[in-house]
Amino acid sequence: MAVAPSIEALNITKDFASVRALNSISVSIEKGEIRGLLGANGSGKSTFMKILMGLVKPDQGTITVDGFDPVKEPIAVRGIVGYVPETPRLYDYLSGIEYLDFVADLYGLPRDVKKERIDEFLTAFGLREQGNDLISGYSLGMKQKIALSAALINRPKVLIMDEALNGLDPRSAKIVKDTLIKLSSGGVTVLFSTHVLEIAEAICKNVTILDHGNIIAEGPIDQLKKRAGGSTLESVFLNLTGSSDVRAVVEELTAS
């Protein structure tokens, strides 16, 4: 008997006024898979992720996330999904610990579990010293670590990360990568978007490439390399998205 996909989106369309952000896209992600969602700025990645979270309603199409419909059951979806937005808008007037404590309470975690997990994340991301400092004084990377910790604090079944590795130092980025791989082997489905294609190549088996709201390529990275004629994911991406004129643009920008 076939196992139902963890995330299944069928014919999703979303328009913002006259702009079509997503054009009838369908994506299916297996349980425990790490899927890279790639695309240039404005290609529709963030919109798709927000639709999966139930933050934005699609105009057409159906979605299930671990069996729940984000449109009809957004609270149930948010209870099992950890989400790291593109730009974490944390509460600047709370300390890192206070914020995580706040999130843990929204998930209804018991006191002992809450304490154990907050301690665990602060130690893992090297924030133990700054945990009691106000978030307003944090660097972008530190904010990102807090946002990641908040997404993971409830041990989600699905993790959605929208360019969540931005601003992280190499040690933390490595921790996140290893964490994603470990979570995936434990059955957690991960969908993450990034512009750092080396990271996607290192941890994803499959990628989905969006361009102007359309899926222009999808599948295992090795197959895409063969199909698009590139030795790296970066060259595949640039070939597929028509961005191979990079050299000419650089020449123009640096011309004296």
Partner 1 sequence: MNFFKAWRIAQILLISQLRASATSRTSMRSLIRRPMVLVVLAIGLFLGSDALGYFFGYNFSRSPTVAPIVKPLLTGAIITLPALILAIFLVLGLVLEVSGSSQAAASDTINWLPVSADDYVLGSILMLVTYYSIVPSILLGVTMSLSYFFGVLQAWELAAALSILGVLVSSSVLEIIRAVLNRFSSTFYKRGGRGAFAVRAIFGVLVIVILQILFYPTFYERIIGTITAKFGPAWFIPVLWSSVSVAALLTDEVVLALSFAFLFILLVGVMFYFAVAARTKYWVPMPAAVRITSAAYSPRSGSPLLGFLNASQLAITRKDLRGLVRRREMVRLLSLPFVFLVSIYLGMSRSGFGGLYIFGFFILTMTTLFISLAELGSEGKSILNLYQFPLTAKDFIIGKAATPAIFGSIFALAFFIAAGVLDSLFPTFVVMLLVAGVALVLEMTAFGMMMGTKFPYFAESTRSSFMSQSAGLIGFPLGLVVMGSSLAPFLFTLVTGMSSFYVTLGFAVSIVITLVLAFVFYALALGQARKMLSQIPGID
Give contact residues for partner 1 (rule: CB under 8 A): 16-17, 50, 53, 55-57, 74-76, 78-79, 83, 85, 89-95, 97-98, 101-103, 105-108, 111, 114-115, 118-119, 122, 130-134, 136-137
Please identify, using beta-carbon distances, which residue of 123 and 185 lies nearer to partner 1: 123
Q: Which is nearer to partner 1, 97 or 180 (CB)?
A: 97
Please say which residue, 103 or 210, places its beta carbon nearer to partner 1. Answer: 103
Minimum distance from residue 200 beta carbon to partner 1 (Å): 23
By beta-carbon proximity to partner 1, the closer residue of 130 and 172 is 130
Of the pair 112, 252, the CB lying nearest partner 1 is at 112
CB of 181 to partner 1, least distance (A): 24
Least CB distance to partner 1 at residue 87 (A): 9
For residue 99, the 8-state DSSP code is H
Q: 178: part of which helix (H) or strand (E)?
A: helix 170-185
Q: How far is the CB of 75 from partner 1 (least distance, A)?
A: 5
Cβ neighbours around 129 below 10 Å, total? 8
Minimum distance of partner 1 from residue 255's CB (angstroms): 25
217-255 b/e (C-beta count within 10 Å ≥ 16 → b): bbeebeebbeebebeebeebbbbbbeeeeeeeeeeeeee
DSSP 222-239: HHHHHHHT-SSHHHHHHH
Find the Cα–Cα–Cα–Cα dihedral 234, 237, 238, 239, rounded to 10°. Answer: 120
Compute φ and ψ for 85, nearest 5 degrees. -75, 165
Q: Are 38 and 200 in contact (CB under 8 A)?
A: yes
